[in-house]
Structure 1
Amino acid sequence: MTQIDQAVEIRDGEALESGAVDRFMKQAIPGLEGQPTIKQYPGGASNLTYQVDYGERSYVLRRPPFGKIAKSAHDMLREARVMQALKPAYPYVPEIVSICDDHSVLGCDFYVMERLHGIILRQDFPKDFSLSAEDTRKLCLNVIDKLVDLHKVDAKAAGLDKLGKGAGYVQRQISGWSDRFRKARTDDVGDFETVMAWLNEKMPEDLAQVVIHNDFRFDNVVLNPDNPFEVIGVLDWEMATIGDPLMDLGNSLAYWIEADDEGPFQMLRRQPTHRPGMLTRKEVVEYYMEQSGFRADNFDFYEIYGLFRLAVIIQQIYYRYYHGQTQDKRFAVFGQAANYLQKRCQRLIDESHL
Structure 2
Amino acid sequence: MPFEIAADDIVRTFDEVPADGRPPLLVLDPLLSFLDEAGLGEGEPSISAIGDGHSNATYLFERGDIRFVLRRPPRPPIPPSANDMLREARVLRGLEGRARVPRVLAVCEDESVIGAPFYVMEMVEGHVVTMAMPEELDTPEERQRTAYELIDALVEVHGVDWRAAGLEGFGKPDGYLERQLRRFLGLWDHNKTREIPAVESVGEWLKTNLPASPPATIVHGDYRLGNVLLAPEPPSRIAAILDWEMSTIGDPLADLGYFCTLYVQQDDPPVGKFELSPVTRQDGWPTRAELVARYEEKSGRSMTDIRWYQTLALWKSIVFMEGNYKRASSGMSDDPYLKAFGDGVIELAQRAEGLTRGE
**What TM-score, normalized to structure 2?**
0.87
C-alpha distance in structure 1 between counterparts of 2:114 and 2:330, whole Å: 29
CA change 1:334–1:259 in 2 (3 A) is farther
CA change 1:199–1:188 in 2 (3 A) is closer
Q: Is the 8 A contact 2:79 2:190 kept in 1?
A: no
| Aligned twin of 1:98 | 106
Query: Aligned ranges for residues 235-274 of structure 1 at < 5 Å?
Result: 235-263=242-270, 265-271=271-277, 272-274=279-281
C-alpha distance in structure 2 between counterparts of 1:255 and 1:105, whole Å: 37
SS in 2 for 1:103: coil
SS in 2 for 1:276: coil
Query: Aligned ranges for residues 65-104 of structure 1 at < 5 Å?
Result: 65-70=74-79, 72-90=81-99, 92-104=100-112
SS in 1 for 2:8: coil
Q: Is the 8 A contact 1:99 1:111 kept in 2?
A: yes
C-alpha distance in structure 2 between counterparts of 1:123 and 1:46, whole Å: 20
| Aligned twin of 2:206 | 199
C-alpha distance in structure 1 between counterparts of 2:64 and 2:253, whole Å: 44
Q: After TM superposition, give the deviation of residue 130 of structure 1 in Å.
A: 5.1
C-alpha distance in structure 2 between counterparts of 1:318 and 1:104, whole Å: 28
The letter for the 2-side match of 1:205 is A
Equivalences, count: 343
In the alignment, structure 1 residue 330 sits paired with structure 2 residue 337:
yes
| Aligned twin of 1:290 | 297
Q: After TM superposition, give the deviation of residue 310 of structure 1 in Å.
A: 1.4
Q: After TM superposition, give the deviation of residue 156 of structure 1 in Å.
A: 1.4
CA change 1:218–1:197 in 2 (3 A) is same
Alignment equivalent of 2:176, drawn from 150, 169, 178: 169
Q: Deviations over 1:85-109 (max 9, x none)?
A: 221322x111111112233322222
Deviation larger for 297-306 or 339-348: 339-348
C-alpha distance in structure 1 between counterparts of 2:171 and 2:297, whole Å: 26
In the alignment, structure 1 residue 302 sits paired with structure 2 residue 309:
yes
Q: After TM superposition, give the deviation of residue 195 of structure 1 in Å.
A: 1.8
C-alpha distance in structure 1 between counterparts of 2:323 and 2:237, whole Å: 35
Q: Is the 8 A contact 2:221 2:246 kept in 1?
A: yes
| Aligned twin of 1:18 | 28
| Aligned twin of 1:53 | 62
SS in 1 for 2:262: coil
C-alpha distance in structure 2 between counterparts of 1:107 and 1:325, whole Å: 16
| Aligned twin of 2:52 | 43
The letter for the 1-side match of 2:5 is I
C-alpha distance in structure 2 between counterparts of 1:188 and 1:133, whole Å: 45
C-alpha distance in structure 1 between counterparts of 2:243 and 2:141, whole Å: 29
Alignment equivalent of 2:128, drawn from 120, 127, 132: 120
C-alpha distance in structure 2 between counterparts of 1:269 and 1:330, whole Å: 14
CA change 1:193–1:239 in 2 (3 A) is closer
Q: Is the 8 A contact 1:36 1:52 kept in 2?
A: yes
| Aligned twin of 1:150 | 157
SS in 2 for 1:116: coil
**What TM-score, normalized to structure 1?**
0.88
| Aligned twin of 1:8 | 3
C-alpha distance in structure 2 between counterparts of 1:115 and 1:186, whole Å: 38
C-alpha distance in structure 2 between counterparts of 1:71 and 1:193, whole Å: 19
CA change 1:254–1:202 in 2 (3 A) is same
C-alpha distance in structure 1 between counterparts of 2:111 and 2:186, whole Å: 32
Q: After TM superposition, give the deviation of residue 147 of structure 1 in Å.
A: 0.5
Q: Is the 8 A contact 2:80 2:187 kept in 1?
A: no
Q: After TM superposition, give the deviation of residue 186 of structure 1 in Å.
A: 4.1
SS in 1 for 2:243: coil
Q: After TM superposition, give the deviation of residue 74 of structure 1 in Å.
A: 2.4
Q: Is the 8 A contact 1:188 1:335 kept in 2?
A: no
Q: Is the 8 A contact 1:132 1:277 kept in 2?
A: yes
C-alpha distance in structure 1 between counterparts of 2:185 and 2:79, whole Å: 18
CA change 1:149–1:279 in 2 (3 A) is same
In the alignment, structure 1 residue 63 sits paired with structure 2 residue 58:
no
Deviation larger for 181-190 or 134-143: 181-190
Unaligned runs of at least 5 residues, structure 1: 1-5
| Aligned twin of 2:16 | none
SS in 2 for 1:200: helix
Q: Deviations over 1:276-295 (max 9, x none)?
A: 22222232222212221121
CA change 1:343–1:129 in 2 (3 A) is farther
Unaligned runs of at least 5 residues, structure 2: 11-25
Alignment equivalent of 2:323, drawn from 316, 328, 331: 316
The letter for the 2-side match of 1:74 is N
